[in-house]
Structure 1
C-alpha cells in the first residue's frame, strides 16, 4: 500500500472521526453499519473502517468480515497490495504510525473502561457497596455493650400464713408478666434518661464529637430525638418462660457502658421497691382510718349502753323483767291456792271465824303484792334522781325496748369491728404481698471487645438490599419499555 493511498485513507478516517461523537466512534455496532454502507461506494474506506471495528470488537464474525473485505479490496485495487522498497514508508513514518496506533489503542481502552464504569450496576451497586464498606471498616466508631440479667420476685407468704388466710388474700397468684413489663417501660422512659444524664452525663457522651457523625447523637437534638437515640442504645429482652429480664446497654467506651448498665439496674430496683412500698402504705393508711372510725362507733355504743344501765340501776333489764314475770306467776299461783282454801273454810265455818278472816287477810296481801309486781312491769318508780320524771314514768317494757335497741347497736358495732379487723389483716397481708424485689441474676459485665458495628453482617445485608432494589428498578424500567 503506497504512502499516498495510506494518507488518503487516513484523511477520510479523520473526517469521519470529526463528524461523529465519542460514543459513536467507540460503538462497534454503529461503525459496522457505516462499514456496510461504505462497502457499496468506497470499498477501500470500508476496509479501513472495518479494521477499527475489529479493534473495538474482535469477534469471530468481525474478523471474517475483515478478511472478506481485504480480499475484495486487493482484487479491485491491486495497487494497494503492492509493496516495494521505494514505496515503503521511512522509519520516521513507521514510528509515527506506531505512535498513532498506540494512542488510538490507549484511547480505545480508556473509552472502554469509562463505558464499563458508566454501567448502572457499577454506579448503583458496586460503588455504594465499596463506600459503605469503607465507612464500616475505617470510619464507624466502635460501640461496646454491657449486659445484666434481672428477675422480679415476690415474698413467700404461703410459708408464714395460715393456708385459709393465704388463699383469701391471694398469695400464690403471680403477676410476674406485668411486673417485667413495668420494669421494661420504666427503663425505656424519659425519667430514666434524665436520671442517667444527671448521674453520668450520658447525653454528652452520646454526642461527643470524637465519634463519627453517623453513630453519635446530634449536639442540638431535641428531647424527643435524645429519647429515640437512647432507646436504640438500650435494649430489653424478656424470657417468656422464666421472666428473666436481660438489659443490654451500649456506649462508645467500655467503662461508660458498664457504668450505664449498673445505674440502670440500681434505678430499676429502686423503682420496683418504691412502687411496692407506696402502694402498701397508701392501702394500709386507708384501711387503718376506716378501722379507727369503726372502733370509735363501738366505743360510743358501749358508752351509751353503760350509761343506760347506770341510770336505771339495771345490770340486765331482760333478766330482771323475766324475774318480775316469774314472781307474778308465783303470786298468781298462791292466790289461786289461797282462794281455794278460803272457799273450803267458808263451807264449814262462818265468815267471822278467825281462820276465815286470816285466810281472807292472806289472800288480800297476795293480791296486793301481785298488783305491786304488775305495776313494776308497767310503771317504773326507780331512778337515781327523784326529780327525773322520765325515770319514774318509763315502764319496764319501755326500758327493755330501749335496752334492746342499745344492745342491737352494740352488736352491730361489734360485728363491724370484727369485719374491720379482718379487713385490716387482709390489707396488711396484701401490702406484704405487693412488695416486690428485683433480684440480680447476672451483674453488669465490663466489655472488652466492641460488639458493634457488625461489619460482615452489615455488608451482607447492605449488598442484599441494594441488589434487591436494583433488580426491582430494572424490572420496572423493562416493563415500562415493553409497554411503550
Structure 2
C-alpha cells in the first residue's frame, strides 16, 4: 500500500504516527522489563457431603458436588484483598520485588503507599472464575520466573489457610454452642435429681405417692372393719340391752377403730399441718422437673451429635487442580503485538484526523 502525502502531511504523519510508534518501540526494546507468568487452577470443596446427586464430572472425581458460587467468589475477593497483600508482603516483600526493576511505566514506585501497592498487586494478579465448574484460575506476573512461581505458591498457601480458618471457625462456633447447651442441660438434670434426693432425705420419705396409696388402702381396710363391727353392734342390740357387756365391748372396739381411721386420715389431709397430700404435690413437681430436664438433656445430646456431623460436613478444603510451574519464557510485554497494534491504531487516528480536517476545510470553502 503506497501512501501519497504532501510535505505538510508528511510532517504531520511523522509527528502523529511515526514518532509515537518509535517511542513505544524504544520503550519496549530498551526500558520494558520482561514479565513471567505462573498460573494454577484451584477448587474449594467440602471435606464430607452425603448429598451427592451427580455421578459425573467433578462430583464423581472428588466424591462431592462442585463448590458453591459463594465459596468461589469469597475466595476470589480474598485473593484480591488488602489482607492478602499484607500477608504476601510480609513473606515475600512484594514492595521490594515490584520496585526493584527500572521500568518507567510498569514498575512500582519505591515510595508507593499501601493503597498503591494493592492496586499494583491486582494488576499483576488476576483471578478468573469458571461459572460452570466453579474453579478459579489464579494467574500472576513477576519480573523473574522464580518469583512468579513463588508468588503463586504463596497465594495458594494463604488461600488454603483462609479456607481452613473460615470453615473451622464456623464449624467450631456451631459445635461450641451445642456443647454449651448440652452442658447446661446436664447441670439442670443433675440439679433436678439432687433436689429430689434432698427432699427425700429431709422428709424421710422415698415416694409420697406410693405411701399415700398404701395409706389409702389401709384406711379402706379399717373402714371395712368398722362397717362390719357396726353391723355386729346392730345385731347384738336386736336381742341385748345397750348395757350388756358384749355390746359395751363392741362399742369400745368401734370407737378405737374410728379414732385410728381419723388418725390415718389426718396423715393424708389436714388444714393446719403439712401432710402427705402436700408431700405428694411437692414431690410430683420435683419429679416433673426431673422429667423435663431429662427430655432437654436428650434433645441437647442429639443436637450435639448433629452439630458434630454438620461441623464435619461443613469443613472445606482447597484442591489444587493444576499446580503452578516455573515459566520458561516471558509472556509480557508482547512487543511485536504492541508495536503493530500501536502503528495501526495511530494510522487510524491519523486517518480520522485527516478526514475531519478535510470536512472542515470543505465547509469553510
Q: Give yes or no for TM over 0.5.
A: yes
Q: Distance in 2 between matches of 1:117 and 1:406?
A: 107
- Asked if 1:258 is matched to 2:149, the reply is yes
- The answer as to 2:213 corresponding to 1:213 is no
**1:131 lines up with 2:11 in the alignment:** no
The aligned counterpart of 2:274 is 394
Q: Which residue is equivalent to 2:10?
A: 117
Structure 1 residues 284 and 352 mapped into 2: Cα distance closer, same or farther (>3 Å)?
same
User: Which residue of the other structure, out of 132, 136, 156, is the alignment partner of 1:241?
Assistant: 132
Counterpart secondary structure, 2:37: strand
* 2:333 counterpart SS class: coil
Q: Choose which of 306, 319, 322 in structure 2 pairs with 1:426.
A: 306
Tell me, yes or no, if structure 1 residue 370 matches structure 2 residue 261.
Answer: yes
SS in 2 for 1:348: coil
Alpha-carbon distance between aligned partners in 1 of 2:18 and 2:109, rounded to the nearest angstrom: 30
**Shift of residue 370, structure 1, vs aligned partner:** 1.2
Distance in structure 2 (CA, Å) of the matches to 1:472 and 1:334:
129
Give structure 2 stretches of 5+ with no counterpart. 52-63
Aligned to 1:201: 93
Match of 1:250, SS? strand
SS in 2 for 1:158: coil
- Which of 434, 437, 460 pairs up with 2:317? 437
Distance in 2, matches of 1:346 and 1:229, equals 122
Shift of 1:231: 0.6
Q: Deviations over 1:289-321 (max 9, x none)?
A: 343333223222221211111122211111211
Task: Give unmatched runs, 5+ long, in structure 1.
Answer: 1-111, 160-171, 381-391
Q: How does 1:306-455 map to 2 (within 5 A)?
A: 306-353=197-244, 355-379=246-270, 393-455=273-335
Alignment partners' CA distance in 2, 1:254 and 1:174: 32
Q: What do residues 165-223 of structure 1 show as CA deviations (whole Å, max 9, x unaligned)?
A: xxxxxxx99862222222222221222223223223222221123x4222211222222
Cα distance, 1:472 vs structure 2:
5.3
Residue 148 (structure 1) shift:
1.2
* Equivalent in 32, 38, 45 of residue 153 of structure 1: 45
**RMSD after superposition:** 3.0
**Residue 65 (structure 1) aligns with:** none
1:149 is paired with a residue of what secondary structure?
Answer: strand
CA distance in 2, matches of 1:297, 1:130: 85
Output one character per residue of 1:104-123: Cα deviation in whole Å (capped at 9) or x when no partner. Answer: xxxxxxxx97434224x443
Tell me if 1:227 matches 2:107: no
Structure 1 residue 236: Cα displacement: 0.7
Which structure is richer in relative contact order (CA contacts within 8 A, separation 6 or more)?
2
Distance between the aligned counterparts of 1:157 and 1:366, measured in 2?
76
Q: Tell me how far apart the structure 1 counterparts of residues 258 and 214 of structure 2 sit (CA, whole Å).
A: 18
- Rounded to whole Å, the distance in 2 between the matches of 1:471 and 1:415 is 87
The alignment covers a number of residue pairs equal to: 348
Higher relative helix content: 1
Asked if the contact 2:44/2:67 (under 8 Å) is kept, the reply is no
CA shift, 1:463, in A, is 4.5
What aligned pairs does 1:172-191 form with structure 2 within 5 A after superposition? 176-191=68-83
In structure 1, distance between residues paired with 2:32 and 2:298: 71
Q: SS where residue 50 of structure 2 aligns?
A: helix
Partner of 2:55: none
CA distance in 1, matches of 2:223, 2:351: 122
Cα distance in structure 2, aligned partners of 1:157 and 1:417: 28
**Kindly tell me: are residues 423 and 175 of structure 1, through their superposed partners in 2, closer, same or farther at Cα, counting changes over 3 Å?**
farther
- The alpha carbon displacement at 1:265 in A equals 1.0
Retained in 1: the 8 A contact 2:178–2:304?
Answer: yes
Evaluate the alpha carbon distance shift between residue 237 and residue 351 of structure 1 in structure 2; reply closer, same or farther with a 3 A threshold: same
Give the TM-score, by structure 2 length: 0.83
- Of structures 1 and 2, the larger Rg is shown by 1
